[in-house]
């Protein structure tokens, strides 16, 4: 018996009931909490009502405070998934959720204790106006101080609520919980106590009215909140448009400056370094966000040496050479490639001297911008990069304009890649460009972020000060901008500080006022329905008293009918006029008599129907004979039926005292008991017959020894006969005991494990000590020694019995072969051990009886045996989950095969019980 089965059913039911209440509390709290948070106006918890607080108090009162783990679990799950908590670090989120859950649970426990302490069980009825107000005041404004203090304290100590926002958050939390209790507590009690008469009428009056009122309040609250949100979103949108316009204008100015430099390069590609610095000085002075301007000539492989010599003379860098950066970002001589795009002229020179000679075509990001500019013959801009000139990372981007050598009179359309001179390049400090463009338009609390979204990829370009990393506090307004040949996206959104400074007071006040009026309406409804419920209760009690007796009678009749319907025994009820009024399903199943054949008909008709189906119709007495005497219960009568199936019935008649039905007849199926009695008698007859033969020999020979004198040789021969017959008697008794134990235990003492059939066969052969000259014996294990799932001791007994029969039924000798085979059956693999002899053999009829008890194929009695060996073999093999196959022919021999479930080599030893599967 397992530990679980020893638990009392009532204890188990109480445990399951408590677990169910805890799960219900957690789920309901979570759903109502999500409904409350859905009305919250960001940031934080500015919700005008939190109905989960009222439900928690009601559930604690209803469950006797035993379901508090459900409230704690529901609150924890709710706050772990709350949006505001998700903005903080994970550890702060978990600790804050635990603190809030502790506060919610403590508030519900305190409120339920306080209500019961002051009002007793008055919360179960809420019959008077004073009692209703007292309960709501205790559970609402007073008890709700707990959760607000716990929750705001947890948020503050975990850094999720700033110090300046603590008082507002606390007051808003307390107000939302208070209104949640005032509104949701009576509604929850109406649902939880709906089975009580006083609340049954309230449920239909309170819920529709309050749902309608709350729906109107919620709609008004949502409409006002959306109006205020739309006003804020419109302001944010206009601000975003202004920022996007300013950024676009700033970038256009840089493009125009770079276009002028491009035109200078096309006109004077061989300008001096002084000329280049003079031209770019004004542009750099007016645009501090341009880090540098450069002319990057295109240099082919064959022109590299001459270009380096020329630039060494023309630039301040006497050791001028084309360079690139290695894996450690160090400048090294550039490798050989078909062409280079080299920084030839750069201004300002101070701080940018190391960049002279740098091949921007060696960097994948810059190379991609060069390719796009050459393909489009227009300006292109790189993704944000680390500037070559900087020793620290700085957000920058290179704006490239291709410059072409054109003959006088040529148009831009005539420019080809072959005429490409190089690129006018502006190195833009993106962060400074954004700061300059947006400085005068910033709004405190409105943050923005710029991402490069070219080609579907997203990479951050700039993030304003005060922008929180990760998910924004509100949905951002997005503005795409075309920057040369790339697409930047400006996202503008209000921060939590902006939302705190611009709260939706109108919507919040609308919700508070509406919910307060709804709470007053609910108090009025509770008072009116309480008086009406008391009046209805008195009327109902009087009516229920009148209906009690009738209900009890109906219930009793229903129970009796259910018993008759479920009973496996048959019943019929006979009225005083001899007609059959009732027959249960079991009667129809036992006798095969359909309802249409008996109901409403006389007992005589049923007698004829049963007599036609009886095995011995002449011995069947009528059903009326059961009531011939004056006894209440008649004598037992047996009836054997052959149609529609063979069955033996025990029939008993019982007299009743009812006016309409005064006789009952009981039919019980005793087929199994009859068969058992028959088998028992047959077994005792066989056993007596088998035991009488050796006993007669023992008795006769021992009597001869006692009454006559014999010589020593004759005496030894008589004693040997007595000993042999005694051994036979012992064998019969032992095998009978074996069969008895097998049937009694049905495998309960088996130890099932992986067993080697070949090893067991060797052991059985060795134990038999068979004469090899008379019975040559061979064992063929096949490719490998087969393993089966079996009890080794029982399987050894099976093999010994089969081998013994092979020897006994081969009196003239002959070879005995043992071999193994496998086959599939019912989705399993079975291994068979086959013992084949070349003895007397059997006919098919003998084979069909060979496993019956006391059956022996040799009727002459010359071969010793009890006739129980193969019966034992069959019982054991079937209990091990297998079967026995026998193939035999007279004068040829017999092959007995025991099939057993195969083992896969990983099976652990185990004990089994019950019959074989």
- Taking Cα atoms as reference points, which of 26, 888, 132 lies closest to residue 531? 132
Ranges 179-183, 494-498, 704-708, 736-740: which has the least confidence: 736-740
Does an H or E element contain 508, and which? helix 505-566
pLDDT averaged over every residue in the chain: 79
- Please check whether residues 345 and 418 belong to one and the same domain: yes
Would you say residue 521 lies in a domain?
A: no
- Are the beta carbons of 424 and 258 closer than 8 angstroms? yes
Please identify which residue in the block is written with the tokens 């796009």.
Answer: 372
Q: Residue 852, SS3? A: coil
* Cα 71 to Cα 188: distance, rounded to the nearest angstrom: 14
Number of residues written out for the chain: 917
Question: How far does the chain reach from its first CA to its final CA, in angstroms?
Answer: 22
Question: CA dist 663 to 23, 26, 254, 539, 658, Å?
Answer: 54, 58, 114, 43, 9
Domain boundary (440, 458, 491) is at 440
* Cα 877 to Cα 896: distance, rounded to the nearest angstrom: 12
Q: In the predicted model, what is the mean pLDDT of residues 467-476?
A: 63
Question: What total of structural domains would you count in the chain?
Answer: 6
pLDDT tens across 163-173, in order? 777 887 887 78
Tokens of 685: 């007859």
Would you say residue 864 lies in a domain?
A: yes
- Please check whether residues 161 and 48 belong to one and the same domain: yes
* Cα 55 to Cα 189: distance, rounded to the nearest angstrom: 8
Would you say residue 450 lies in a domain?
A: yes
Residue 628 has what pLDDT?
73
- Please check whether residues 464 and 337 belong to one and the same domain: no
Q: In the predicted model, what is the mean pLDDT of residues 824-849?
A: 83
Q: Any residues with CB less than 8 A from the CB of 500 and at least 6 apart, and which?
A: 43, 44, 165, 168
CATH of the domain at 47: 1.10.1760.20
Please report which confidence band the pLDDT of residue 340 belongs to, taking 50, 70 and 90 as the band edges.
very high
Domain boundary (414, 440, 466) is at 440
pLDDT at 496 over 90: no
Does an H or E element contain 668, and which? strand 661-669
Peptide bond into 43 cis (omega under 30): yes
Predicted TM-score (pTM) of this structure = 0.47
Would you say residue 532 lies in a domain?
A: no
- Please check whether residues 49 and 156 belong to one and the same domain: yes
pLDDT at 483 over 60: yes
- Please check whether residues 90 and 144 belong to one and the same domain: yes
| 358: DSSP letter | B
Please report which confidence band the pLDDT of residue 801 belongs to, taking 50, 70 and 90 as the band edges.
confident
* Cα 456 to Cα 464: distance, rounded to the nearest angstrom: 23
- Please check whether residues 724 and 760 belong to one and the same domain: no
DSSP calls for 554-588: HHHHHHHHHHHHH-SSEEEEEETTSBEEEE-HHHH
Residue 370 has what pLDDT?
92
Please report which confidence band the pLDDT of residue 333 belongs to, taking 50, 70 and 90 as the band edges.
very high
| 121: DSSP letter | T
pLDDT tens across 83-121, in order? 444 444 567 778 888 888 898 899 989 988 998 888 888
Tell me the angle at which helices 166-192 and 505-566 cross, rounded to the nearest 10 degrees. Answer: 30
Residue 399 has what pLDDT?
93
Domain boundary (648, 669, 690) is at 669
- Please check whether residues 174 and 287 belong to one and the same domain: no
Residue 741 has what pLDDT?
58
- Please check whether residues 757 and 627 belong to one and the same domain: no
Tokens of 711: 């010589």
Please report which confidence band the pLDDT of residue 358 belongs to, taking 50, 70 and 90 as the band edges.
very high
Strands, sheet with 570-575, edge to edge from the N-terminal-most edge strand? 580-583, 570-575, 661-669, 647-655, 637-641
Residue 603 CA neighbour count, 13 Å, CB half: 18
Residue 556 has what pLDDT?
76
- Please check whether residues 316 and 416 belong to one and the same domain: yes
* Cα 505 to Cα 507: distance, rounded to the nearest angstrom: 6
Would you say residue 13 lies in a domain?
A: yes
pLDDT at 910 over 60: no
- Are the beta carbons of 492 and 525 closer than 8 angstroms? no
CATH of the domain at 664: 3.30.450.20
Pure H helices in 746-896:
757-768, 792-808, 844-849, 869-879
163-166, long-range: CB < 8 A, 24+ apart? 165/44, 165/500
- Please check whether residues 197 and 276 belong to one and the same domain: no
- Please check whether residues 462 and 432 belong to one and the same domain: no
- Taking Cα atoms as reference points, which of 13, 123, 119 lies closest to residue 62? 123
pLDDT tens across 402-436, in order? 999 865 555 444 568 788 999 999 999 888 899 88
CATH of the domain at 412: 3.30.450.350
Please report which confidence band the pLDDT of residue 740 belongs to, taking 50, 70 and 90 as the band edges.
low
Would you say residue 508 lies in a domain?
A: no
Would you say residue 262 lies in a domain?
A: no
Would you say residue 344 lies in a domain?
A: yes
Q: Which domain holds residue 705?
A: 675-728
Please report which confidence band the pLDDT of residue 381 belongs to, taking 50, 70 and 90 as the band edges.
very high
- Please check whether residues 684 and 584 belong to one and the same domain: no
């Amino acid at each position: 018996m397992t530990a679980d089965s020893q638990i009392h059913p009532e204890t188990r039911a109480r445990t399951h009931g408590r677990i169910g209440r805890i799960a219900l509390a957690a789920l309901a709290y979570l759903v109502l909490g999500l409904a409350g948070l859905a009305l919250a106006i960001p940031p934080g918890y500015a919700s005008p009502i939190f109905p989960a607080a009222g439900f928690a108090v009601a559930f604690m009162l209803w469950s006797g405070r035993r379901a508090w783990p459900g409230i704690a679990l529901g609150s924890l799950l709710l706050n772990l998934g709350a949006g505001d908590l998700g903005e903080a670090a994970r550890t702060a989120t978990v600790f804050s959720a635990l603190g809030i859950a502790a506060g919610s649970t403590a508030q519900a426990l305190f409120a339920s204790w306080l209500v019961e302490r002051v009002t007793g069980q008055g919360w179960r009825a809420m019959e008077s106006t004073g009692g209703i107000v007292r309960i709501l005041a205790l559970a609402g404004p007073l008890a709700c101080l707990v959760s607000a203090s716990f929750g705001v304290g947890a948020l503050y100590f975990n850094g999720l609520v700033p110090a300046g926002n603590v008082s507002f958050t606390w007051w808003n939390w307390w107000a939302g919980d208070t209104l949640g209790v005032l509104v949701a507590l009576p509604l929850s009690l109406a649902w939880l106590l709906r089975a009580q008469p006083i609340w049954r009428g309230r449920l239909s009056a309170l819920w529709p009215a309050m749902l309608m009122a709350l729906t109107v309040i919620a709609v008004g609250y949502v409409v006002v909140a959306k109006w205020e949100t739309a006003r804020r979103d419109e302001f944010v949108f206009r601000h975003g448009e202004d920022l996007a316009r300013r950024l676009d204008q700033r970038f256009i100015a840089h493009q125009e400056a770079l276009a002028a430099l491009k035109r200078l390069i096309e006109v004077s590609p061989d300008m001096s370094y002084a000329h280049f610095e003079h031209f770019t000085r004004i542009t750099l002075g007016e645009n501090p966000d341009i880090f540098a301007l450069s002319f990057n000539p295109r240099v082919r492989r064959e022109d590299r040496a001459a270009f380096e010599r020329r630039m060494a003379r023309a630039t301040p860098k006497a050791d001028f050479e084309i360079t690139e950066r290695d894996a450690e970002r160090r400048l090294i001589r550039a490798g050989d490639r078909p062409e280079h795009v080299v920084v030839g002229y750069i201004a300002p020179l101070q701080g940018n001297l190391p960049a002279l000679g740098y091949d921007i075509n060696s960097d994948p990001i810059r190379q991609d911008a060069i390719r796009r500019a050459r393909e489009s013959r227009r300006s292109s801009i790189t993704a944000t990069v680390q500037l070559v000139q900087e020793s620290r990372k700085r957000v920058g981007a290179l704006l490239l304009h291709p410059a072409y050598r054109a003959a006088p009179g040529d148009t831009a359309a005539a420019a080809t890649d072959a005429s490409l001179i190089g690129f006018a390049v502006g190195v833009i400090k993106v962060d400074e460009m954004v700061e300059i463009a947006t400085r005068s338009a910033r709004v405190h609390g409105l943050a923005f972020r710029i991402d490069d979204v070219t080609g579907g990829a997203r990479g951050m370009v700039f993030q304003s000060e005060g922008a929180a990393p990760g998910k924004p506090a509100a949905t951002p307004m997005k503005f795409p901008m075309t920057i040369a040949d790339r697409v930047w996206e400006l996202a503008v959104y209000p921060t939590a500080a902006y939302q705190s400074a611009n709260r939706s007071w109108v919507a919040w006040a609308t919700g508070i006022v509406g919910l307060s009026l709804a709470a007053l309406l609910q108090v009025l409804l509770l008072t009116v329905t309480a008086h009406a419920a008391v009046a209805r209760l008195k009327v109902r009690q009087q009516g229920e008293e009148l209906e009690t007796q009738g209900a009890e009678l109906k219930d009793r009749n229903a129970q009796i009918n259910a018993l008759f319907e479920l009973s496996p025994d048959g019943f019929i009820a006979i009225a005083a006029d001899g007609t059959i009024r009732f027959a249960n399903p079991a009667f129809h199943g036992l006798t095969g008599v359909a309802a249409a054949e008996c109901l409403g008909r006389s007992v005589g008709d049923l007698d004829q129907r049963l007599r036609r189906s009886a095995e011995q119709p002449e011995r069947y007495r009528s059903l009326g004979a059961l009531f011939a005497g004056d006894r209440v219960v008649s004598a037992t009568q047996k009836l054997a039926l052959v149609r529609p199936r063979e069955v033996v019935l025990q029939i008993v008649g019982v007299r009743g005292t009812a006016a309409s039905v005064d006789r009952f007849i009981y039919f019980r199926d005793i087929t199994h008991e009859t068969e058992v009695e028959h088998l028992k008698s047959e077994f005792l007859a066989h056993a007596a017959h088998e035991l009488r033969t050796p006993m007669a020999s023992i008795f006769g020979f021992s009597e001869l020894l006692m009454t006559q004198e014999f010589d020593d040789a004759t005496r030894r021969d008589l004693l040997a006969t007595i000993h042999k017959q005694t051994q036979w008697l012992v064998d019969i008794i032992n095998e009978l005991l074996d069969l008895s134990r097998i049937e009694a235990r049905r495998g309960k003492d088996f130890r099932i494990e992986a067993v080697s059939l070949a090893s067991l066969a060797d052991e059985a052969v060795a134990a038999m000590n068979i004469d090899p000259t008379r019975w040559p014996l061979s064992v063929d294990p096949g490719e490998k020694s087969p393993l089966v799932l079996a009890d080794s001791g029982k399987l050894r007994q099976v093999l010994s019995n089969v081998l013994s029969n092979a020897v006994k039924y081969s009196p003239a000798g002959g070879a005995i072969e043992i071999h193994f085979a496998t086959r599939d059956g019912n989705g399993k693999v079975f291994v068979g051990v086959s013992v084949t002899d070349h003895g007397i053999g059997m006919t098919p009829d003998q084979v069909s009886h060979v496993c019956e008890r006391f059956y022996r194929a040799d009727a002459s009695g010359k071969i010793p045996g009890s006739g129980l060996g193969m019966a034992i073999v069959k019982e054991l093999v079937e209990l091990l989950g297998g079967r026995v196959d026998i193939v035999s022919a007279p004068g040829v021999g017999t092959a007995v095969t025991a099939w057993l479930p195969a083992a896969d080599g990983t099976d652990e030893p185990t004990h089994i019980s019950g019959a074989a599967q």
